[in-house]
Chains A and B, each alone.
Chain A
Amino acid sequence: MAKKASKKKAVARKKAPAKKAVAKKAVKKVASKKATVVSRSKQPENFNIDEITNLLNAVNTSGVNELKLEKGSFKITIRQGVTTAPAVVQASPIVQAAAPPAPAPAAASAPAAPAASPEAAADNLITVKSPMIGTFYRSSSPDKPPFMSVGDTIKEGDVLCIVEAMKLFNEIESEVSGTIVKVLVDDASPVEYDQPLFLVEP
């Protein structure tokens, strides 16, 4: 029992910095794109970096999954949690053409998405992450049923999925026992290293 608890703790601790990094990266991306296209900008109306930061924080604390805003020709979409994509901010092309340059360090130090994604929202859940870059498969071949579906009970050592990379096929086994609460990635889609794949209720 004690062993299980400590493992969970370790998972939770690991999560926070990783997520922060993703959020930072996303903000930075917006900032750097702005910087490159500012000279073409003729639009007076736009969001500045403080507003974007405030929006991010507002979304994080509110629990909404998606927020779309328009200001003049400037559109911004903030998504969190439910999508499989690691990006927190998705800016439309218009954003890139219209925004003023923003100081990147400020963006980087902005408090970023501490409580947003599903595994943090429900902290009793364990996130199973991809050990590598590759393609995620839920079954051993297209004509076979998935290894696991939502609601299935799993035990340590059960096969959850396959991640294929360079024709090397990796059967990912569970380290924990519990129930599959959510499958976070679609079959046959690419996954990144450390990308959340499943949520498991222990």
Chain B
Amino acid sequence: MTLKPAIGSNVIEFEQVDSTNDYAMQLANEGNAEHGTTIIAQFQTKGKGQQGRIWQANKEKNLLLSVILDTSQKDIQSQFILNAAFCSALAHLLMEDYEIGDVSIKWPNDLYVRKKKVAGILIENVIRGQQWQYSIVGIGLNVNQINFPPEMMASSIKNEMGNEIDISNVRKKLFIQINKAYKQYVSNELDLIAEYNSLLHGYNSKISFIKEGKTYTGQLHGAQQNGLLCIDDEQYRHGEIKLLL
């Protein structure tokens, strides 16, 4: 078996692109996708975010990239664990490489510092029949942007650190973190859920959430391998509930 190239060893860079995920997906659909190839854009005109919301990014201020992974050897059932691996990698980047405190993952795929969102992940997969062929992992990380619309409740590494950050350095460190996480995903994926849960906002404590317009509180027991969130004795799918910070 040949060794797969490291994530980030092959980079396609754009000043501006509709969406790095769309571009990566197009490569995958054309059969031109190589494992580890990463699409980076300084600016996205149609960056994808939560529920179709556009990821708001100032030009050249933030890190926007999409990683193409060959997942043909992996089980479809482990998709959420891949999400967990990338969320944990981003958390480690913020906590270890930039020594930012109070970092947490908001289920299922957002990174928060205190109550402000700093990064998000959006995974799109290519499935042929029943076989998982590719995963496109889109990452948006706020680096040097300092002004955000107040309703966005967002922040950046610069806002948290107080000084301008070298984006190419962030990129290098991010690749180290995600390569580490991906290796773990390939070899011992179960530990990743425990790690993800340990970083989860509100883990093992009382949290509030909205379900069908009503607010509830409950003990958060963490996410399962399949991504279901356990609160008290119930399990919830994404979309069923909205967590309050």
Known: A159-B29, A170-B79, A172-B127. 15 other contacts (CB 8 A): A131-B130, A166-B237, A167-B50, A167-B109, A167-B123, A168-B79, A168-B83, A169-B123, A169-B125, A171-B124, A171-B126, A173-B29, A173-B126, A173-B129, A175-B128
Closest CB-CB distance, B18 to chain A, in whole Å?
Answer: 12
Contact with A along B101-128 (1 / 0, CB 8 A): 0000000110000000000001111111
Which residue in chain A gives the minimum CB-CB distance to B123?
Answer: A168
Are A131 and B80 also in contact (CB < 8 A) when A141-B52, A166-B238, A167-B109 are?
no
B147 to chain A, nearest CB (A): 27
Identity of the chain B residue whose Cβ is nearest the Cβ of A190 in the assembled complex: B237
Chain A interface size range = 20 to 34
Chain B residues close to A by CB (< 8 Å): 25, 29, 50, 52, 76-77, 79-80, 83, 108-109, 122-130, 133, 226-228, 237-239
Residues in B with CB closer than 8 Å to A165 are 79, 227, 237-238
Across the interface, do B25 and A171 meet the contact criterion of CB distance under 8 Å?
A: yes
Flag whether A111 is at the interface (Cβ < 8 A).
no
Interface residues as binary, A134-146 with B (CB distance below 8 Å gives 1, 0 otherwise)? 0100000110000
Given A159-B29, A167-B108, A167-B238, the answer on whether A131 and B123 have CB atoms closer than 8 Å is no
A157 touches B125 (CB 8 A): no
Instruction: List the count of A-B residue pairs having beta carbons below 8 Å apart.
Output: 66
Nearest Cβ on chain A to B236's Cβ, whole angstroms: 10
Q: Which residues of A have CB within 8 Å of B239?
A: 135
Chief secondary structure at chain B's binding surface: mixed
Whole-angstrom distance between the alpha carbons of A174 and B80 in the complex?
Answer: 23
Shortest distance between the CB of A156 and any CB in chain B (Å):
8
**How far is it, in angstroms, between the C-alpha of A160 and the C-alpha of B24 when the chains are bound?**
18
A202–B128 Cα gap in the complex (Å)? 17
Cα–Cα, bound, A167→B50 (Å): 9
Q: Does A82 contact B (CB under 8 A)?
A: no
